[in-house]
Structure 1
């Protein structure tokens, strides 16, 4: 493909992204039903993980991966010329960014309590972690945001986006009722173009800890015994009393990712997910093809974004952006660098 043709192709997809942000009702249903089926050239999701030690086959840990420039073609969401009926642009497997962020510290994290699905907000430290996460992804394109239904994840997403240089406005999509849809309608097409839809789903919630919720570690150990508590926390398929196992959490979180989020990536939309330790571990298990033993040893830090590139049906983990000014962050793909250059031209 020549340079001119490639540019036109990217512009066409960029338009599809922009006009796909909000429909007339502004409802979540619009996104759930807007999937475009594409033929993927990839058949797997093969990705390596950093090991803690050469002899430890189960001790996987996320780490910073210093990637080099690769010649790829991420959609440029800044461009806006229209070509909304281009079938070729939808058939091609575009490159898209997927950002995963675990929420910052919550008030119950601070108190060392089991939180689960109790809806607790961030601490001041958690707010600062969310803002720092936003700085780290401030030059990475975001067209759609998915969060859990819990306030700590939603706060993290919103605070992070206050740092983004594109300055689009994240807008929560409400489809609880016909009235909610009507009352949240946006009447300006230009305003729609400058917004990012935020879709919340309980299926991205933290795993439900049942009778452990609200207890601290000492209370839990006294009530159930240290060995039993360790089994609940570190096993894959053993749930706490009246709660969810990691396996049960994975079933709902991964199903939601495959049904609702992956189709958006297939159309070239760049997605951010702000969620929780266990729901994100579940999604990473799917992306990186981890075993049940590998996923229980997976560690995620609060407020640290993890970047994947989705291209030709494959997820390629690119590690954690370490800062908005470090050149290596934008060498993940050619078009991430071009996106940052475009932002420089727009806002300087």
Structure 2
């Protein structure tokens, strides 16, 4: 659901910056539960994390032409706080379901510790980090399924996942990236994207040409901005965490 329209931006010299950020701590992060497409809010600590990230971006002089988030409130709220801290509330924002978190299927809402006790540490690790591994599917009649969620009322039910592995999440995210975001980068637009751990793992895997083994061990902290530079053809150049210390390029 696009809340505003985007105006073309004049091409600027030099690399095009795009800032990616995993949403701040949510209630289910705190409770150590599988979240997926469920929609818990940020915790008070998460709200503070988001404010700190916004302040850091402001201090570093970041200016954006447009912003994206998933449709899930933890990403939407994080983005709103960032833009408020930056004093850039008025830029166009897009809420894209294609940037939603990986769908955890029948695991959604379960305590990770209980799942580990039931299925074993190695199996739960594979479900969480494995590229090709997926848990059991969520049945369509289950009240937790996205087909019952008002946030998804305008999405073709055939496109709503019952469960996803990281490979399928990558396909979903990269299709949207290529169709909607790359054209804006080619126009020189500076973008801020608030999304999720697995969404960003999948995206950076593609952009940085990570191997399956590398992405399976790749963890993204909450509310820590990632600065990515692109050339004006939309090809990735380099990236680094913006953490207020000595940033190390990846």
State the TM-score bracket (shorter-chain normalisation): 0.7 to 0.9
Q: 1:293 aligns with which of 213, 221, 230?
A: 213
Which residue number in structure 1 is paired with residue 156 of structure 2? none
Q: 1:302 aligns with which of 222, 233, 237?
A: 222
Q: 1:316 aligns with which of 237, 241, 245?
A: 237
Question: How big is the shift at 1:135?
Answer: 1.2
Larger-Rg structure: 1
**TM superposition score normalised by structure 1:** 0.59
Aligned length: 220
The SS at the match of 1:304 is coil
Segments of 5+ residues of structure 1 without an aligned counterpart are 1-25, 36-76, 78-88, 170-194, 333-348
Please state if 1:231 is matched with 2:126: yes
Please state if 1:103 is matched with 2:103: no
Question: How big is the shift at 1:111?
Answer: 0.7
What is the alpha-carbon distance in structure 1 between the residues aligned to residue 4 and residue 14 of structure 2? 24
Greater displacement, 216-225 / 149-158: 216-225
Which residue number in structure 2 is paired with residue 145 of structure 1? 67
Which residue number in structure 2 is paired with residue 161 of structure 1? 83
Q: Deviations over 1:177-213 (max 9, x none)?
A: xxxxxxxxxxxxxxxxxx2111011111110111111
The SS at the match of 1:289 is coil
What is the alpha-carbon distance in structure 2 between the residues aligned to residue 122 and residue 94 of structure 1? 36
Segments of 5+ residues of structure 2 without an aligned counterpart are 138-162
Is 1:93–1:266's contact at 8 Å kept on the other side of the alignment?
no
Which residue number in structure 1 is paired with residue 143 of structure 2? none
Measured on the aligned residues, the alpha-carbon RMSD in Å equals: 2.5
The SS at the match of 1:274 is strand
What is the alpha-carbon distance in structure 1 between the residues aligned to residue 45 and residue 185 of structure 2? 32
What is the alpha-carbon distance in structure 1 between the residues aligned to residue 123 and residue 242 of structure 2? 37
Is 2:2–2:93's contact at 8 Å kept on the other side of the alignment?
no
Q: How does 1:1-348 map to 2 (within 5 A)?
A: 27=2, 95-138=15-58, 139-164=61-86, 167-169=87-89, 195-242=90-137, 243-313=163-233, 314-323=235-244
Question: How big is the shift at 1:30?
Answer: 5.2
